[in-house]
Amino acid sequence: MSTILNVDDTDAQRYATSRLLRHAGFAVVEAATGKRALEMVSDRPDLVILDVNLPDMSGYEVCRRIRCDQVSARLPVVHLSATMVSTDARVAGLDGGADAYLTQPVEPEELLATVRALLRARQSEETLWQSEQQYRLFFEANPLACWILDGNDDSILAVNEAAVQMYGYTRQEFMGLAVRDIEDASGPQQAAERTGNATAQGAMKKHKTQACAT
């Protein structure tokens, strides 16, 4: 069950939004101030519905702080305003890191659809992030010298520790080199033989390729 942090200083509005979310199957926690909201973000809710006008700080500032914290940087935020706002205000909210901006009165179906869409997007991002983290762990722990190449020009974007040990370059010195440029302490000929034996093992992203030297 996804948990929604509902931040609104108006008791009646906060109650109405929380009631709607609970009836839709979400767990809901509440805050009435920006300070309290930032404290509760540390409990890692799945999404924040954030009133723009709060008594101690603006919702924009709360969102900015959420985005500046590495732990909560990817947390979906929906700004909810109780008053009509200008296009500039909406743009400011979205540019400030909010994922959506809704104005009261908002149709219940629209609010729920927005929440569900953002949660789906977050789940996809989390799955991709976890996959990349696992890939990075495998890449770094591989006993073979491995590198990640730019698919456009085959320049080296990253190497693992085994490559550093094999070729004698620092990680920074590897950056921007092509595989053909690599030389190790045993001489250019053996280095060329090693790089010639490199085989592609997969892709980290569409424009990157990993290779390992045997």
* CA gyration radius, the chain: 24
Mean pLDDT per 10-residue section of the chain, whose length is 214 residues: 94 95 97 96 95 93 93 92 71 83 89 94 74 79 85 83 86 81 50 40 40 53
**How high is the pLDDT of residue 65?**
95
pLDDT for the residue 208 = 47
Q: Residue 114 belongs to a domain with what CATH number?
A: 3.40.50.2300
Give the 3-state secondary structure of residue 107.
coil
pTM of the model: 0.61
- Count of the separate structural domains present in the chain: 2
Same domain, 24 and 127: yes
DSSP state of 180: G
106 and 15 in a common domain: yes
Q: What is the pLDDT of residue 203?
A: 36
- 44 & 72 share domain: yes
d(CA 91, CA 99): 11
pLDDT of residue 85: 67
Domain with 19 in it: 3-136
Q: Which of 136, 152, 186 finishes a domain?
A: 136
- pLDDT (0 to 100) of residue 91: 78
Alpha helices in the chain, H assignment, sequence order: 11-23, 34-41, 59-68, 87-95, 108-141, 161-167, 171-174, 188-196
The CATH number given to whatever domain includes residue 168 is 3.30.450.20
Q: Could you tell me which residues come within 8 angstroms of residue 166 by beta carbon, excluding any fewer than 6 positions away?
A: 145, 184, 194, 213
128 and 187 in a common domain: no
